[in-house]
Chains A and B, each alone.
Chain A
Amino acid sequence: MTAGFWPVLHAEWTKFRTVRGWVVGMVLAALLTVGIALLDHSSCGGQVTPGGPVIAGVGCRAPIGPGGEAVTDSFYFVHHPLVGDGSVTARLTSLASLSGQTAQPWAKGGLIIKVSTRPGSAYAAVMLTGGHGVRMQYDYTADIDGNVVAGAHAVPHWLRLTRAGDAITGYESADGTQWTKIGTAVLAGLPPTVQAGMFAASPAGSERAGSQSIFGSSAGDGMTLATASFTDVSLRSGGRTGTAATGTGAPGTGAPGKWSGAAVGGLTPGEGFRQARGTVTVTGTGDIAPDVPAAPGTAAGTPAEQTLEGTFGGLIAVIIVGVMFMTAEYRRSLLRVTFSATPGRGTVLAAKAVVIASATFVAGLAGAAVAMPAGEALLRSQGNFILPIGLLTQVRLVTGTAALLAVAAVLGVALGAILRHGAAAVTVIVLTVVLPYFFAAQLALLPVGAADWLLRVTPAAAFAVQQTTPQYPQVAASYTPVNGYFPLAPLAGLAVLCGYAAGALILAVILLRRRDA
């Protein structure tokens, strides 16, 4: 090779920046990304009926958990203050739905120690679920499967929570004497006095799940109730014991042994508790879990990536520029001059890829970095609740979007070299990058399996880089592309697109070397 890489790179950069249409295309890509975000007129809680009036939203919000994420914190809590270290123990005798049938798979009844009755406060709980056995959960996102899997569904079942400093340990037992540890939660900064007691919750379910809807069926997602019964309830604090259920004991610091009831997250008709002959019966609805937008009945939070919907507009612009950056060489016969100046054809293509990737990355970064805060401000002003995400996720969202655009533009250069016809190259890229997303995530025509498959093997997998809402196994929801859940992890999805771009570049170099210019 006669020339180094830098002069070639410089030559390609000069070509790029001196064609006004290409620079305009890049600016347009950034403007489209921002402009489309500013078109968003979503308002939370609104609805439209076919042919009927459009009802404006009243605004949405959700409590924020200790980890900074939006949570659902709605259940019925029968509580008593627990001062200092101590424990709460009870024998769970039944967990059932309102009509006495099996509760929802993720209906919960058990013991909980929580900082306060304020929604979103830190907690740790051991529970029996309707269909997933005994579990220990804490701080909304952590979920530990109980040890006694075989007998986990059986009632009666003994449960215990022990507090020692910031650590809360959950135990279960079949007989009340042989205890098995489930797990330990460390809740940093737990105050000296916390609330301990029994709870019941039952998430809303789709009607098809056979759940019982208490509020009409027209909504589609029915609110459900679960009732949990406890006997042999005891609360130990500082070594002293009180049998609170009988109302005679004096747990802890000598407070009256009366349990208080609290509907955390607002009272729903049907919720409450009864205390009679040593049995405490708690009826509750809702869930203690991370807020999942796709779950039925949870607070309607807006994922942050909704502000980046303009990526699709920017994508088309950068694909056109990427393709033309290569095909213009054929159109104007410039390629012969280029290849006379730089006989290394792979070098020329590499320089083109570097130039287009850098320019697109900068344009995409600018577009996404403006679109996200501007779009979020607009959405908030319309009463929407943006699901909070960490700084690292925000960085991933913005740089990932820029990288998606950059790699798509490189794919454009490579396909431009392979096909040599601009129209054909643009069409192939749009059909492979945008159309699978359209089919899988928009059309709702494909079965979920086929939609997942499309978003795994086509370059459209790269849109996974914009997913910010995690999938939680302990929350029943429809985690499908239509609801914004991609089958691949964010970076794995982007890697699929990179793989296609790399493959196309290699094929382009092979063809460029074989063909006449």
Chain B
Amino acid sequence: MSTGRLTTGCLITGVLHAEWTKLRTVSATRWLLFGVAWLTAAAGALADVAARCPVSGCGLDPGRVSLTGTYLGQAVVAIFAVVAIGGEYSSGMIRTTLAAVPRRAAVLAAKAATVGAAVLLAGAAAVLASWLAGRLILPGRGFTAADGYASLSLTDGAMLRAVAGTALYLVLVALLSLGIATAVREPAAAIGIVLALLYVVPIIGAVVGSPGWHRHLEQVAPMTAGLAIQDTTNLGAAPIGPWAGIGVLAGWAGAGLLAGAIALIRRDA
């Protein structure tokens, strides 16, 4: 039997190659990834222009201001990840995929790897462009080293963590979306659930609940926890630390992928 001779390594590269081909040859991929980078950088630059920091201080974090575009860019990341699996269900391609690779967990893993790699690429472009815009614009808005703000240089540890961490944040949002879309199958419903998790949970948390509840919600909501990685100043006052926060989001992404994998394995295609 030919499959008997197929080593695990061969299987992995083969599945990865198949997933990469599917992703690469869909024109939407290019447009969506371009959209992630462009939207993130443009919205970040707009926030840089709008921000004002008088000498008396403004309580704004230059890391967060320059990376504000993440709030918008992540929505495009979510569409990209949802369509990567949802598109297969819409077109019926999923049956072909699963017939070719009966090991369904391997399919999802390969999809996660290719989608994650593509988002990492687009995310890196997005955060580097955002950082560059911040570096050029923010000093003119009062965020200067003389006022106690980090130099906005990537040699600054906190700034490097914010920039690199935001690219990682976008990858984790993609994995969370992929997991939910696999579990739900319906792209419209999947994207709705992802966006509700990202945007609506913090809105509810801000108004509903005592200050203590609000803080707890900020610690567990995927967006507010994950974006703690963008903090460069006043870390002590944040509800959650940068690495712990991105860890919470990683937990969400892991749980989403797990739910997707279980659904994919148990269900008919």
Task: Write the residues of chain A forming the contact surface with B, with a CB cutoff of 8 angstroms.
Answer: 21, 36-37, 39-43, 46-48, 50-51, 54, 56-57, 306, 309-310, 312-313, 316-317, 319-320, 323-324, 327, 331, 421-427, 430-431, 434-435, 437-439, 442-443, 445-447, 450
Contacts and interface: CB of A to CB of B under 8 A. Distances in A.
A430 B188 contact: no
A313 B202 CA distance: 11
26 contacts: A36-B208, A39-B208, A42-B209, A42-B210, A50-B236, A54-B211, A54-B212, A57-B210, A306-B207, A310-B204, A316-B193, A316-B195, A316-B200, A317-B192, A421-B83, A422-B187, A424-B79, A434-B195, A434-B200, A434-B203, A435-B199, A442-B206, A445-B47, A445-B60, A445-B64, A446-B50
B131 to A, nearest CB: 17
A422 B189 CA distance: 8
Contact of B203 (A309, A323, A431): A309
Nearest to A56: B210
Nearest to A431: B75
A313 B211 contact: no
B186 A48 contact: no
Contacts of B248: none
B191 interface: yes
A40 B199 contact: no
Contacts of B210: 41-43, 46, 48, 54, 56-57
B90 interface: yes
6 pairs of A and B residues whose beta carbons are closest in the complex: A422-B188, A48-B211, A54-B212, A423-B187, A320-B192, A316-B196
A51 B237 CA distance: 8
B208 A427 contact: no
B208 A309 contact: yes
A346 to B, nearest CB: 23
Contact of B79 (A47, A331, A423, A442): A423
B104 interface: no
A48 B203 contact: no
A506 to B, nearest CB: 23
B71 A439 contact: yes
A46 B212 CA distance: 9
Given A47-B211, A50-B237, A319-B192, A331 B90 contact: yes
Contacts of B83: 421, 423
Given A427-B76, A434-B200, A447-B52, 6 more contacts: A39-B208, A48-B210, A317-B192, A324-B188, A425-B188, A442-B206
A9 B95 CA distance: 36
Given A36-B208, A41-B208, A50-B237, A423 B86 contact: yes
Contacts of B212: 46, 48, 54
A421 B195 CA distance: 16
B134 to A, nearest CB: 14
Contact of A46 (B78, B82, B187, B211): B211
A215 to B, nearest CB: 22
B72 interface: yes
Interface in B135-186: 186
A425 B90 CA distance: 15
Contacts of A421: 83, 187
A47 B213 CA distance: 11
Contact of A426 (B195, B202, B209): B195
B192 A438 contact: no
B115 interface: no
Contacts of B193: 316
Contacts of B72: 431, 435
B208 A42 contact: yes
Contacts, number: 127
Given A423-B190, A450-B50, A312 B75 contact: no
Contacts of A450: 50
Interface in B11-50: 47, 50
Q: Dominant SS at the B interface?
A: helix
A327 to B, nearest CB: 6
A39 B83 CA distance: 33
B261 interface: no
A186 B203 CA distance: 44
A47 B204 CA distance: 18
A237 B68 CA distance: 67
A438 B199 contact: yes
Contacts of B50: 446-447, 450
A36 B204 contact: yes
B199 A434 contact: yes
Contacts of A39: 204, 208-209
Contacts of B188: 320, 323-324, 327, 422-423, 425-426
A16 B259 CA distance: 29
B130 to A, nearest CB: 14
A327 B237 CA distance: 45
Contacts of B90: 331
A437 B195 CA distance: 14
A323 to B, nearest CB: 5
A320 B50 CA distance: 33
B213 to A, nearest CB: 5
Contacts of B237: 50
A312 B202 contact: no
B65 interface: yes
Contacts of A431: 72, 75
A48 B215 contact: yes
Interface string B44-85: 000100111000000010001100100110011011001100
Contact of B78 (A21, A331, A427): A427
Contacts of A442: 202-203, 206
Contact of B195 (A47, A306, A327, A427): A427
B228 to A, nearest CB: 14
Contacts of B196: 312-313, 316
Contact of B186 (A43, A316, A324, A438): A324
A422 B186 contact: yes
A420 to B, nearest CB: 11
A310 B210 CA distance: 16
B81 to A, nearest CB: 10
A395 to B, nearest CB: 22
Nearest to A53: B212
Q: Most chain-B Cβ atoms within 10 A of its Cβ — which of A40, A313, A316, A447?
A: A316
Contact of B200 (A37, A48, A312, A439): A312
A309 B202 CA distance: 11
A40 to B, nearest CB: 5
A427 B202 contact: no
Nearest to B237: A50
